[in-house]
Amino acid sequence: MNVDAPAALDELRELIKAGGAARYPEVRPLVAPLSGADLAAAGRLLARLDPEEVLREHPTTAQVQVAITGHGTLSTLVAPLTGQLARHGVLARTRVGDFDGYVFDLSDPAGGIRAGEADLTLCVLDPFVVFDEVPVPWRPQDVEKVLAEKLALISGLAAKFRTGARGTLVLNTLPLPRRFSAQLVDHRSRALLGAVWREANARLLRLGEELSGVAVIDLDPLLAEGVAAYEPRTGVYAKAYLSPELLAEYAREVAHLARNRVGRTKKVLALDLDGTLWGGILGDDGIEGIQVAGTFHGEAFKAVQKVAKQLGSQGVLLAAVSKNDAEAVGQALREHPEMTVREADFVRVTANWQPKHENLARLAKALNLGVDAFVFADDSAFECGLVRRELPDVAVLHLDGDPAEHVDRLLADGWFDVPELTAEDRSRTEKYRDELDRADFLHAFDSIEDYLRELKVTVRLAAAAPADVPRVSQLTLRTNQFNLTTARLQPPDVQALLADPRALVLTIRSADRFGDNGLVGAVFARHEADGVHIDNFVLSCRVFSRGIEQACLAVLLDHARETGAGAVLGTYRPTAKNGIVRELFPRFGFERVDPESADPADPAGSARYRHDLTAPLVRPAHIDLTADLERASA
């Protein structure tokens, strides 16, 4: 990618001098193309901004609170982390703990850096947390003993931290620099050291599976790419036990977690074809002439196709957007004997001669997604520049140069990373393809009423079960449009609600003549003395405009009335993307509460509503609804 980094940094400096907080929305386009030392420099500039001032100027800015603790000096992590989050449009609010203060910070989440209040608490582990306690001289068995003690300590701290914190605890595997293994002169001892070290890292990685709300970043893939684990001068003189380069790559991985935390994980990978998914020009070379395997460059394009298919199998929606003849593209995807991705792997194949940014916008509308859910990859500098200019919220990957490097560029930013896959993820392409069929079906009717009646929508509203926790959490993290308050809930947050006798977590499943949509929404409510409070209501964009929200609200109002509640109350908190639900409450008989009684902690523009339950809400006649609001016994 051709980026004028010095010019971007100069513009960023001027922006900050001229009142950076007021102009903060201009930051992301400046820093998004930067990487390496340039991005760290941008992070140092941005770290001068007061996050509170930015939020006063722009209250809806996506933000993540990050608490940083560990064994060594970690202040140098702030700049790359600030820069990485800014690339994704997220404001970093960081607090750094004292040197070697991780035991205190995790033991007392309410003290020190107040780690319990953070969205992400980074406990950065380094090899000196072990070797500082190994005797001299030492043998592999001495290291194994200290490793066992440290793992027991960290496991206990993580378990205790989870009981008093709201966010995610982020740990990492321990790198083993050569400066330690090389101190053993016999290769048998070196091998034993490597074995006990890797076994300890394997146990660390399993903590993420054993403890909900704990994520473990594996540093080995970063080290395998040639990143140095340790830098002697900063290590000895500053006690910064991980190299600046490794901390910068670690910050990139943390940014993927942060992006997911604020609902900015991408959903669609839109791929060009000629020069991107295969070599050559289909219109010129013909089906038999394009390179998809077997040749020098063909193997590189085959690798791209294999990665695309792998991503698609995990819920990433694949789309082809190509300036090409539609019939020839379809034939190539169906009939080329060496093609890895096939027509059925794409949610839609768009091949025409219209501008690509217009095709992307139309596809976003058809899928009922914002363009900010898209990653667009193309080998053409012109097409990338046009999409970047016309659709700035689309993440653009310019796959120029050697196609052997395309896979690494596709995967570098973890655009589609999620904490955990769900069953819905694995069937997402099929469900969205069904949704496009529904849109085509709609055109056969003269009225929306006839369409909805023939769609044969069924809905099941039920109390959430423990098995629903990952998907319910995912809905709060990934849903931006139909999300009343955008309260982002991690799995432990949902589990806590299931254990709260006052709370009501309801799952929404739907199906119709085209197939099962799966778990598409959730309602979060609680019983209070003054009535039932709706804390949030989220619904997948795949099932908008079918009356499902009305049917579910009608059931909830009936439940409140039957349980003796005097009213149902709800809050709408505006964001840049949830305007679609601005009028949800008033549309269904709720009345705006006097602003004097609004929660002063709510952001500007928040509105509170009340339904006095004097009149029932009619359930849509075209929906076949079943409801079971009784909690399952523990």
Q: Report pLDDT digits (tens) over 478-537.
A: 888 899 998 889 888 999 999 999 999 999 999 988 888 889 999 999 999 999 999 999
Q: How far is CA 113 from CA 66, 240, 242, 422, 583, in A?
A: 10, 19, 21, 34, 40
Residue 600, pLDDT score: 46
More confident residue, 47 or 439: 47
Nearest to 306 by CA among 351, 338, 335, 328: 338
Cα angle vertex 395, ends 406, 268, to 5°? 85
CA distance 294 to 370: 38
Tell me what the mean pLDDT of segment 252-264 comes to.
Answer: 91
Cα angle vertex 89, ends 394, 395, to 5°? 20
CA distance 320 to 341: 11
More confident residue, 277 or 576: 277
More confident residue, 435 or 524: 524
Residue 634, pLDDT score: 43
Tell me what the mean pLDDT of segment 431-446 comes to.
Answer: 74
pLDDT at 598 > cutoff 80: no
Q: Which tokens hold the place of 439? A: 């849109």
More confident residue, 164 or 477: 477
Q: Are 391 and 365 in contact (CB under 8 A)?
A: no
Residue 478, pLDDT score: 85
Mean pLDDT of the chain: 90
- Strands (DSSP E) found in 306-371: 317-323, 348-352
pLDDT tier, 603 (very low <50, low <70, confident <90, very high otherwise): low
pLDDT tier, 594 (very low <50, low <70, confident <90, very high otherwise): low
Residue 490, pLDDT score: 87
The label of the residue with tokens 């409070």 reads 533
Q: What percent of the chain has pLDDT over 70?
A: 97
pLDDT tier, 602 (very low <50, low <70, confident <90, very high otherwise): low
Least confident of 51-55, 106-110, 163-167, 391-395: 163-167
CA dihedral 232, 238, 239, 242 (to 10 degrees): -60
More confident residue, 3 or 26: 26
Nearest to 101 by CA among 110, 112, 109: 112
pLDDT at 414 > cutoff 50: yes
Residue 394, pLDDT score: 94
What would the pLDDT profile of 183-212 be if each residue is shown by its tens digit? 999 999 999 999 999 999 999 999 988 988
How many other CB atoms are found less than 10 A from the CB of residue 444? Answer: 9
CA distance 533 to 521: 17
pLDDT at 609 > cutoff 70: yes
Tell me what the mean pLDDT of segment 597-614 comes to.
Answer: 72
Residue 199, pLDDT score: 97
Pairing of strands 63-70, 91-96: parallel
What would the pLDDT profile of 439-473 be if each residue is shown by its tens digit? 777 777 777 788 788 888 999 999 999 999 999 99
pLDDT at 84 > cutoff 90: yes
Q: Is 0.85 topped by the overall pTM?
A: no
CA distance 287 to 277: 13
pLDDT tier, 604 (very low <50, low <70, confident <90, very high otherwise): low
Residue 596, pLDDT score: 47
